[in-house]
């Protein structure tokens, strides 16, 4: 077999083994080792490449940003900052048709800026927002769909764990990726809010809480807090956002230093609210360790896989083939986005990123695309997979967090469908107007 045959065979085996349930990092590492062994016909070279890649891929202090941001997000969730943010948003948008849905999106937007993990947002707002919406007459499908749809903002609005992973894979600045994610994240949040209001007016039966009597109940049931109370409730989230993102953009901190500051502030807030006992703190540290090790293992595997693909010549072959097909830039992007959405039905977001970026980034650069812009649209397309069956990780998190057996997976997937459409429309907008990302 030629090196090119070995590369494509590894791709086929990778998809097959992952479909059978093998761990993504184990599959990538094993196939990379075998691929280099076959290409170079030397097992010693394959072993050395494995060792070198394992060391070089994460041998940098920049990787400290991963556990620090993860710890910050988990601690913020434990401190009930998401609940307080939702209460303020609920007060601001009461009286608006679909107001609780808009409040959920707004609260998720703020919460995303201090967590960076979609799953955390889905878990928190399932407990906070879904019972409130259903109690005020909103349909369970709409309530869970809003939480599922808005939870994806956690992977786009900085500090985003997925943007950090992409920055490492594409050798881009984490700060540049964070800056690029702000405007698209806000556009997506506004588009979701507009979609909720439009549904409430045009299809009130789908929303349930948009009718007259439900609106009166919503208005009467909202917490009648004053401006000072709202500012006090928002102060913890605002302080973390200002310290972390403001510190990065102002040049006061590197991303790693900002993550440390954010983690410290989150711990202070949790301790000040008496939400963090020693057993709970130890549980947060263990969960942070599990997530960090998982991410680092995947990054090591992706680094090895990238080197094997480069040896096989698969990326170069794809560049030449797409050029000969004369699909053009638009054709390439359509195929790429479709591939990401399909992969999202069977894989989690990080795995898709680790598989697609080493393969398709060289092709994108061949078309002259900006790698930062390419990363943002890649993340949005991947996040669509969080809402689509059969995997739909955010949907499964919501279902496992719910205390209501009457709401099934099908209901949540149906409720999230309008947000999938909105995300695809935003993806098209950013593709037509790339200056919204890279400005």
Same domain, residue pair 34 and 76:
no
CB 174 within 8 A of CB 255: yes
Task: State the pLDDT at residue 221.
Answer: 47
Q: Give the residue among 205, 201, 192, 209 at the shortest CA–CA distance from 420.
A: 192
Same domain, residue pair 261 and 207:
yes
Task: State the pLDDT at residue 121.
Answer: 75
Same domain, residue pair 125 and 185:
yes
Confirm whether 166 is domain-assigned: yes
Confirm whether 304 is domain-assigned: yes
Confirm whether 67 is domain-assigned: yes
Confirm whether 284 is domain-assigned: no
Read off φ and ψ for residue 159, nearest 5 degrees.
-80, 115
Task: State the pLDDT at residue 46.
Answer: 83
User: In whole angstroms, what is the distance from residue 309 CA to residue 318 CA?
Assistant: 11
Task: State the pLDDT at residue 431.
Answer: 92
Q: Write a three-state SS string for 292-336.
A: HHHHHHHHHHHHHHHHHHHHHCHHHHHHHHHHHHCCHHHHHHHHH
Asked which of 312, 335, 366 is the last residue of a domain, the reply is 312
Domain count within the chain? 2
Asked which of 312, 335, 361 is the last residue of a domain, the reply is 312
Task: State the pLDDT at residue 110.
Answer: 86
User: In whole angstroms, what is the distance from residue 182 CA to residue 22 CA?
Assistant: 35
Asked which of 312, 337, 371 is the last residue of a domain, the reply is 312
Domain that holds residue 16: 1-56+297-312
Same domain, residue pair 100 and 219:
yes
Same domain, residue pair 4 and 71:
no
User: In whole angstroms, what is the distance from residue 48 CA to residue 201 CA?
Assistant: 63
Confirm whether 308 is domain-assigned: yes
CB 240 within 8 A of CB 230: no
- Give the largest Cα separation in the chain, rounded: 75
Beta strands in 376-433 (DSSP E): none
DSSP 201-226: HH-HHHHSTTSHHHHHHHHHHS----
Same domain, residue pair 259 and 122:
yes
User: In whole angstroms, what is the distance from residue 204 CA to residue 372 CA?
Assistant: 40
CA–CA distances in Å: residue 432 to residues 16, 165, 333, 341, 365: 35, 25, 11, 19, 18
Same domain, residue pair 328 and 270:
yes
Confirm whether 283 is domain-assigned: no
DSSP run (H or E) holding 127: helix 118-135
Same domain, residue pair 126 and 7:
no
Same domain, residue pair 374 and 410:
yes
With a CB cutoff of 8 Å and minimum separation 6, the contacts of 299 are: 57, 58, 63, 165, 168, 169, 354
pLDDT values of the chain reduced to their tens digit, one per residue, 439 residues: 788 888 888 888 887 887 777 877 788 888 888 988 888 888 888 888 878 877 776 766 667 787 888 888 788 878 878 778 888 888 888 778 888 889 989 988 888 777 767 776 777 788 888 888 888 788 888 989 998 888 888 888 888 888 988 998 888 988 889 889 999 999 999 999 999 999 888 888 778 755 444 444 444 444 567 788 888 888 888 888 888 888 888 888 888 888 889 889 989 988 888 878 888 889 989 988 887 887 778 778 877 887 787 788 877 777 677 666 777 788 888 888 888 887 776 677 777 888 888 888 888 888 889 999 999 999 999 888 778 876 676 777 788 778 677 788 888 888 889 999 999 999 999 999 999 888 7
Confirm whether 33 is domain-assigned: yes
User: How many beta carbons lie within 10 A of that of residue 210, not counting itself?
Assistant: 27
Same domain, residue pair 171 and 34:
no
CA–CA distances in Å: residue 376 to residues 123, 176, 185, 380, 427: 24, 11, 10, 6, 9
Task: State the pLDDT at residue 418.
Answer: 92
DSSP code for 388: S
Confirm whether 238 is domain-assigned: yes
Same domain, residue pair 269 and 305:
no
Task: State the pLDDT at residue 60.
Answer: 67
With a CB cutoff of 8 Å and minimum separation 6, the contacts of 218 are: 94, 95, 99, 100, 136, 137, 209
Same domain, residue pair 191 and 237:
yes
């Amino acid at each position: 077999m030629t090196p090119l045959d070995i590369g494509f065979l590894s791709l086929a085996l990778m998809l097959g083994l992952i479909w059978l349930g093998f761990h993504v990092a184990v599959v990538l590492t094993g196939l990379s080792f075998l691929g280099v062994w076959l290409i170079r016909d030397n097992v010693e070279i394959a072993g050395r490449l494995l060792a070198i890649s394992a060391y070089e891929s994460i041998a940098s202090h920049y990787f400290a940003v991963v556990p620090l941001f993860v710890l910050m997000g988990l601690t913020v969730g434990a401190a009930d900052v998401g609940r307080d943010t939702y209460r303020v948003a609920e007060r601001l948008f009461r009286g608006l048709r679909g107001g609780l849905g808009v409040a959920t999106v707004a609260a998720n937007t703020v919460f995303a800026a201090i967590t960076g993990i979609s799953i955390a947002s889905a878990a928190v707002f399932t407990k906070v927002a879904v019972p409130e919406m259903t109690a005020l007459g909103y349909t369970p499908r709409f309530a869970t769909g809003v939480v599922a749809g808005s939870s994806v903002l956690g992977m786009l609005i900085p500090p985003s764990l997925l943007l950090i992973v992409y920055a490492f894979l594409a050798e881009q600045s984490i700060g540049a990726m964070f800056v690029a994610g702000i405007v698209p994240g806000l556009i997506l949040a506004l588009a979701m809010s507009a979609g909720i209001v439009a549904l409430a007016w045009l299809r009130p039966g789908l929303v349930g809480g948009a009718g007259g009597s439900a609106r009166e109940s919503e208005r009467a049931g909202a917490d009648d807090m004053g401006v000072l109370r709202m500012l006090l409730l928002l102060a913890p989230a605002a302080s973390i956002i200002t310290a972390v993102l403001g510190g990065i953009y102002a040049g006061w901190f590197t991303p790693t230093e900002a993550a440390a500051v954010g983690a410290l502030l989150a711990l202070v807030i949790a301790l000040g609210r008496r939400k963090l006992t020693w057993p709970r703190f130890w549980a947060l540290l263990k969960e942070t360790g599990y997530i960090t090790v998982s991410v680092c293992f995947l990054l090591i595997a992706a680094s090895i896989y990238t080197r094997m693909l480069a040896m096989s010549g698969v990326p170069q072959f794809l560049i030449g083939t797409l050029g000969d097909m004369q699909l053009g830039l638009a054709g390439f992007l359509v195929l790429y986005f479709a591939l990401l959405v399909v992969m999202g039905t069977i894989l989690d977001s990080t795995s898709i990123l680790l598989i697609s970026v080493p393969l398709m980034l060289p092709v994108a650069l061949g078309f002259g695309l900006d790698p930062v812009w390419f990363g943002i649209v890649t993340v949005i397309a991947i996040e669509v997979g969080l809402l689509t069956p059969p995997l739909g990780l955010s949907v499964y998190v919501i279902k496992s967090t719910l205390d209501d057996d009457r709401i099934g997976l099908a209901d949540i997937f149906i409720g999230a469908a309008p947000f999938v459409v909105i995300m695809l429309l935003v993806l098209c907008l950013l593709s037509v107007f790339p200056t919204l990302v890279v400005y």
